[in-house]
Structure 1
Amino acid sequence: MITIISATNRPGSSTLKVARYYQKRLLETGEEAGILSLVQLPANLLETDLYGKRSAEFQKIQDIVTATDKFIFIIPEYNGSFPGALKVFIDACSFPESFYDKKAALVGISSGKYGNIRGIDHFTGVCHYLHLNTMPLKLHIANIKTEFNEYSDLFKEDTVKFTNEQIEKFIKF
């Protein structure tokens, strides 16, 4: 099972648009993929689901994570790194069954010109610690607001080319 993580809890984000694009492309190849948006996290996650506690609300999310074999993380740049909500999500998930020896593809996005290069590097370190095997081809999509057409699909030739390449390689990974 492939789960695409929209790695921000910001409602209406470009991150979720990119996650939907990846889901659509995967479905077109015959691969089933679900989206887990961090908007779905319980509002009181810090109080209810860290340090061995588990709420019924987060258990539904944990069940999805546990059942997933492959993850695609769409990660926006927040203050030169990845969102704190993503780290809290990772910390709330059970270890080791959530991520250990599973596979991941990483996609950085930003409104600036670097496509969250640093954040993807930082998150790669977290993945290594968790024994979450990351695919070597990591994408960095800069100036994200200029990348969507009127249907909220990525449309720029290079971006479509590289996302297609990443998706093809990830299916085989």
Structure 2
Amino acid sequence: MVTIIASTNRPGSSTLKLSEYYQRQLAGKGLETNLFSLMDLPANLIQTDLYGKRSEEFATIQQMVSATEKFLFVIPEYNGSFPGVLKVFVDACSFPESFYDKKAALVGLSSGKYGNIRGIDHFTGVCHYLNLHVMPLKIHIAGIRGEMDAEGDLIKEDTIKYTNEQMDKFIRF
């Protein structure tokens, strides 16, 4: 199973739109994926699912994560790094079966000019600690609001070229 993680809980985010774009494009290339938005985490996750506790609501999420062999994380820049809710999500997942010896591709995005370079580097460190193998080609999409049209499709030729290259490599990874 392949799962795309829209790595923020912000409603109406560009992250979710870009995740949906990746899902459509990967489907067009013959790869069916699940899409999980961190908006769908239990509201009380910090109280109910950390430190060995498990709620029924998170149990279904945990089953999906455990069954996933490859992840594609779409990660926005929050304060020069990745969103805290992404770290809480990782911390709530069971170790080692959630991520150990599995594969991941990373896509960074930002409204600014660096495309979450630092956040992707920070999250790569977390992945390495979990023994989650990260594909070397990481994409950084800066100025995301100028990169997508109203339908949520990428519109700039270079961005389309590099995201397609990443998707093709992710399929083979």
Category of TM-score, reference length = shorter chain:
over 0.9
Q: In the TM superposition, what whole-angstrom CA distance separates every residue of 1:117-155 from its partner, at most 9, and x where no partner exists?
A: 000000000000000000000000000011111311111
TM-score (normalised: structure 2): 0.99
Q: How many residues end up aligned between the 2 structures?
A: 173
Paired amino acid for 2:86: L
1:79-117: per-residue Cα shift (whole Å, max 9, x none)?
000000000000000000000000000000000000000
Name the SS of the counterpart of 2:5 in structure 1.
strand
Letter in 2 for 1:114: Y
Cα separation, 2, equivalents of 1:111 and 1:76: 9
Matched, 1:160 2:144: no
Unaligned 5+ residue runs, structure 1? none
Gaps of 5+ in 2: none
Task: Give the match for residue 87 of structure 2.
Answer: 87
* Structure 1 runs (4+) greater than 2 angstroms displaced: none
Give the alignment of 1:28-43 within 5 angstroms: 28-43=28-43
Give the residue type in structure 2 aligned to 1:171.
I
Q: Percent identity?
A: 71
Partner of 1:78, secondary structure, is coil
Q: Secondary structure at the match of 1:162?
A: helix
What's the counterpart of residue 110 of structure 1?
Answer: 110
- Counterpart mapping for 1:45-84 below 5 A: 45-84=45-84
SS of residue matched to 1:154? coil
User: Distance between the aligned counterparts of 1:149 and 1:12, measured in 2?
Assistant: 14
**TM-score (norm: length of structure 1):** 0.99
Q: Which residue of 1 aligns with 2:147?
A: 147
